[in-house]
Structure 1
Amino acid sequence: MITWIKRLALVVFLLLQASCSEWQPNTFTLVGELPPGFSYWAGVYYVPEPGTDCNIKDWRRTMPEHNRPWLGEYRSEIKINIKTIIKGCRMVVDDIDIKIFARWTDVGMGQTYDRAGLMFRTELEDKHKRIFNSKDESEFYGECYWVFKTSGKYRSLTKYIECRKDLERGERGKGKPSAIYARDQLPGKTIKMSIRLLDKEKPGVKDTWIEFPNGWKRCLGDGFEDPYGFCRGNTSDFSYYTGPYGEICTIYPGCEE
């Protein structure tokens, strides 16, 4: 009797061990490592699992969203399901649309954003696969910078953020911060989106500002009624611009010379 119980216990142990060795988590973690004052939104999109015959209409409306700013929610670290069921159809994660938010003033429409993204494939050549380190972490890198311009007859200052791949930290090619992974790489792993903010800001419209050692000056153009205000080689006639609080300024960044 005791021998039989021992054999049964051994069989159960081996079955459990085999089951645990085959089990994989159905999630991975996305972490946003962003500059102070930045945040991100993530929309996760799924497609029918390969080999699945599904007929779903308007299924994109059911996609989960994370860090919805209009609800005041934010977490830098979020869990993403790799597989899910939507309207009875087995789905797998296909891509994540990311918006990187930044705010340059607390007045009016002071928040702006640019995009980043992740893509996932069932099969992916090794040369395109990202590498995970010994901690099961992988990173992709981006850099953002502020762009400034003026609008209207009072030449009111506006700014927006632009982001791109960070070539200095090893990214290749042009475009928005992004990365691609094979789906079988994902279970239990962590993907970090590492974004840095460059010190250098840039004018949003060419030939409208001239740079001096102490900052940028706004070209006058043909006067304040000129909606474009191009410099056209005139390096001596400049206009003021209006800051976000209504202040009258002559130099950017800063205000007064």
Structure 2
Amino acid sequence: MSKFVAAGITAFAAEHFSGCLPLFLAAAGVMVASGCSAIKPADSFTLLTELPPGFSIKGEASYVPRTGEMCSVPAKKGRNFPGLKFFEQKLSAGAQTARFEVPLTSTEGGCPLVLKSFGYEVDAKYGAARLNLGRDYTGIAFQDGIADSQNAPSPMVLQKQCEWFFRTVGPKRYIAKILECKSVATPEQENGTVAKGPLQLAQLVGKTVKVVFAISSEESPAMGDNWVKFPTGWKRCMGESLEDPYAFCNGNITDFKPFKMPDGRDCTVYPNCTEQGQ
């Protein structure tokens, strides 16, 4: 980057951001949630994302030509281009709330663009090791045009329910987990206060949308006929032998095999690890 371009970016950041200049320059085009204050774009909405402990997200706002426009999204050059804007919230051991100011429109590249979707890449930790990580994708859809009503609640609350699905992997049968997150209707959507389906852009100017991610307290096997549930927890079917990697029950609900928790403990019942729940 030349000193003239760098100076231009610095001047722009100093004019439009308050207390965020180091972060703005370090992010180099990636919008990152932070505690500093930034002036909201005139045509935007606030996206709050509530995350359980051990979660992180990356967000991708996608833009398309406004309804009736004959132009096209400019060609992609590198990771950042007019049709996409990126956001990120880092992993935290505790519950956290990410706050993003998301533009509803864009004129970058000379084509009037409107927000089409906001996609989440959701990562969640289930153990201390680097690979003890589950990932899923979910998002929000938006609709251009005239709003049915301008009286959308603010914040408008959307719910994402996440669940862990467990299985065993490898010859030592370590527990690994798969994360699945999906949209569930809120009470407001059930009673019709908030419509289901894409959010209307015309309703969102200056408003707040809150997306609440919750994790289910119950976990389920990732595959059927591998585990049997008892009052003390789930037991792993033996299959044909200890070495059988698939180990379907096939009606045998009396022979089981041990497995290892992500932290290395030898266990016979999931998730309490032993018959006594220790």
Q: TM-score, normalised to structure 2's length?
A: 0.72
In the alignment, the residues of structure 2 paired with residue 75 and residue 194 of structure 1 have an alpha-carbon distance, to the nearest angstrom, of 9
1:106-117 matches, within 5 Å, as 106-117=128-139
Structure 2 matches for 1:154-173, cutoff 5 A?
154-167=172-185, 169=187
SS at match of 1:76: strand
Corresponding residue number in structure 2 for 1:17: none
- Contact kept? 2:123, 2:136, Cα under 8 Å: yes
Partner in structure 2 of residue 175 of structure 1: none
User: Quick check: 1:122–1:182 contact (8 Å CA) kept in 2?
Assistant: yes
Matching residue's letter, 1:97: G
Bigger relative contact order, structure 1 or 2, given CA contacts below 8 A and separation 6+? 1
- Unpaired segments ≥5 residues, structure 2: 1-40, 191-195
| 1:221-250 CA-partner distances (Å, limit 9, x unpaired) | 011221210011111110011222322211
- Counterpart Cα distance in 1 of 2:230 and 2:214: 26
Given that residues 117 and 140 in structure 2 are in contact (C-alpha distance below 8 angstroms), is that contact kept between their aligned partners in structure 1?
yes
Given that 1:216 and 1:251 are in contact with CA atoms closer than 8 Å, whether structure 2 keeps it comes out as yes
- Tell me whether 1:250 sits opposite 2:268 in the alignment: yes
The reply to whether residue 91 of structure 1 matches residue 109 of structure 2 is: no
CA contact (8 A) 1:131 1:138 kept: no
How many residues were matched structurally? 222
SS at match of 1:28: strand
TM-score normalised by structure 1 residue count: 0.77
* Unaligned runs of at least 5 residues, structure 1: 1-23, 173-177
Alignment of 1:59-138 (within 5 A): 61-62=80-81, 63-67=84-88, 69=90, 76-123=98-145, 126=148, 132-133=152-153, 136-138=154-156
* 1:52 matches 2:73: no
User: SS of 1:253's equivalent?
Assistant: coil
Q: For 1:46-76, what per-residue CA distance to the aligned partner results, in whole angstroms no more than 9, with x for missing partners?
A: 0122333324323785211100659xxx961
The equivalent of 1:18 in structure 2 is none
- The offset of 1:167, in angstroms, is 4.5
Partner Cα separation in structure 2 for residue 227 and residue 171 of structure 1: 44
Of residues 100-109 and 198-207 in structure 1, the stretch that sits farther from structure 2 once superposed is 100-109
Distance 1:108 1:37 in 2: 13
Please tell me whether the aligned partners of residues 259 and 268 of structure 2 are also in contact (alpha carbons under 8 angstroms). yes
Overall identity of the aligned pairs, in %: 31
Instruction: Indicate whether 1:203 and 2:225 are aligned.
Output: no
When the two chains are superposed, the root-mean-square deviation of aligned CA atoms in Å is 2.7
